Structure 1
Amino acid sequence: MTVQLVLNALPGAYAVTRRAPDMPVPEWVKGKGLVSVTQAPDETSILCLEDRVPATEQSSGGWQAVQVSNLVDLDVPGVVLSAVRPISQAGLGVFVTSTFDRDYLLVRAAENVAAQMAWIRAGHHYCDGKVTYRLAMPSDGEALAQVHFETWQETYAKIAPPEVRLALNLAHRNRYWQARLETNAPTLVAEVGGRIIGLCALSGCAAEVDHLYVVNSARGSGIGAHLLRQAQNMSANAGNAQVTLAVVNENTLAIGFYAAQGGSVVAEKQDKGPLWKSDNLIFGWPAAKQAPTG
C-alpha cells in the first residue's frame, strides 16, 4: 500500500548518541528540536540536535531529520513503508523513530538532496521551511503557464524582438504546458502557500533542463539553485553523466547565476526558431555532482 506523504524537513543537524544502559539520561538532552531516548537491555540511544552533544560522547552526527506530517492512526498500514521504500531503492541509508502522532526519518545530510528526489519521484511532497517541492501534475498547467509567461516576459523585455514577445503570450504558454504535462517529461515545482513560484522542467530523458524559472519576488532565496540541484540528481538517477541547459547570450543575469552554480559552457548553438533565431550558450553540470548552495 502506497500513501502520499508530506515530508517536512526539521532545521538543524542531528546526532545519535550511544550510552551504557545503566547511565542516567543527561541534562544536555533537554532543549528544542526532536528528542528521542530509547533504552534497551544493552544500550541507551539518544537522538537530539548535534550541537548539544558533548565531544566526549560516542555519537554519529550529520543527520537530517524529516517529519512525516500526515496525521494517521497508529495502526494505519503503509505509512512507514511509503516513506522508507524510495530511500532504500535509491541506495541511501535511513533510520526511523516515531511519536504517538507521527513518524520521523533521518538521512545523512550529505545525501539530503538525493533523499528529497527519491521521495519526490515517488509522488511525495517535500517541505523545506515554507517552500514545498514536488512533481507537477496535469492540474498545474495554468499555474505553470503563468510563471513561465511572467518571468520570460520580464527577462526578455529588452532582449527578444517585440513580435516574439507578443506571440509568446499567456494563451500560447497555456497550450504549451497542457500539452507538455501529457508527456513523460518531468517538471519540478516549488510552491509557497499553494502558489507555484518556481519550476524546473527537464527533457523526457532528463538530460536537459528545458526551463528553469523563479518568480521575481522569490529570486535570491535559493529556490532556483535548489531546483537545479534537484534536476542534477534526477538526471543522474536517469543514467545521465551530464545535464545541460541553454541560455540566450544576452541573458547576462542568468549566465552569471549558472556560472555561480558550478556550470561551465560546453557548447554554443543557434536556436533557429520557429519564432526567433537566438544565439545560445550551453551550460553543463555533472549530473551526479550536486551544485554548490546558492
Structure 2
Amino acid sequence: MKLKLFLEEYAVCRLNNNSEIPTWIDTEKFYSITKTDDELSIVCLNNNIPSDIKSEKEWRILKILGPLDFSLIGILSKISGLLADNKISIFAISTYDTDYILIKEKDIKNACKILNCNGYEIE
C-alpha cells in the first residue's frame, strides 16, 4: 500500500456549531470541514488562522493513495493500530475515495519509519 506525505503543516480548528465557514481557510491546498450539532471542525493549513480560534497546530498528513473501494476492510484500522502500538496518536479523515491520517509533526518521522518497516511505501 502506498501513502503520500504532505509537506505542509496543518491545524485542526474548532468553531461554534453556528459559525459561518471562515474566509481565512486556504482553499488552494487540502482542507476539510465538518459540521455537527456540537461544532464546526476545520482542518486547514496552519497559515492565517486568527489567534482567537481554538486550534491544535503542527499536524502532517499521510494520504492513503486510492481510490479505495468501499468493500475494502481494515486499512485504516491496521495503520492506526501500528501507530497506536508505538504511542503515536492520529486524527483521521475519510472521504469518498480515500483516507487521510494526520500525525503530529513531532511524531511523523517515527510514524513513517514504522509504516515503512511494515510494508507501506511513503512518497
Q: Smaller-chain TM-score range?
A: over 0.9
1:45 correspondence with 2:41: yes
SS in 2 for 1:87: helix
**Per-residue deviation, 1:24:** 0.7
1:82 matches 2:72: no
Alpha-carbon deviation of 1:30?
A: 4.0
Counterpart of 2:57, as a letter, is G
Of 19, 27, 32, 1:31 maps to 27
Residue 26 of structure 2 contacts residue 45 of structure 2 at CA under 8 Å; is this kept in 1?
no
Unmatched tracts of structure 2, length 5 or more? none
Once the two structures are superposed, residues 186-233 of structure 1 have per-residue CA deviations (whole angstroms, 9 ceiling, x without a partner) of xxxxxxxxxxxxxxxxxxxxxxxxxxxxxxxxxxxxxxxxxxxxxxxx
Q: Tell me which stretches of 4 or more aligned residues in structure 1 moved more than 4 Å.
A: none
For residues 71 and 40 of structure 2, the distance between their equivalents in structure 1, rounded to whole angstroms, comes to 26
Aligned position for 2:100: 104
Shift of 1:123: 1.0
Displacement of 1:120: 1.0
Amino acid corresponding to residue 113 of structure 1 in structure 2: K
Q: TM-score, normalised by structure 1?
A: 0.41
Q: Which one-letter code corresponds to 1:115 in the other structure? A: A
More relative contact order, 1 or 2 (CA 8 Å, 6+ apart):
2
Equivalent residues in 2 for 1:1-294, closer than 5 Å: 5-127=1-123
- Percent of aligned pairs sharing the same letter: 24
The CA deviation at 1:87 is: 0.8
For the aligned residue pairs, the C-alpha RMSD in angstroms reads: 1.2
Deviation per residue, 1:59-112 (Å, 9 max, x gap): 000001110013221231111112211111111110100111110000000111
For the residue of structure 1 that corresponds to 2:24, the secondary structure is helix
Deviation at 1:121, TM superposition (A): 1.7
Structure 1 spans left out of the alignment, 5+ residues: 128-294
Aligned amino acid, residue 109 of structure 1? E
Paired AA for residue 17 in structure 2: P
Query: TM-score, length-normalised on structure 2?
Result: 0.94
**Amino acid in the other structure paired with 1:121:** C
Give, as a single letter, the amino acid of the residue that structure 1 aligns with 2:11: A
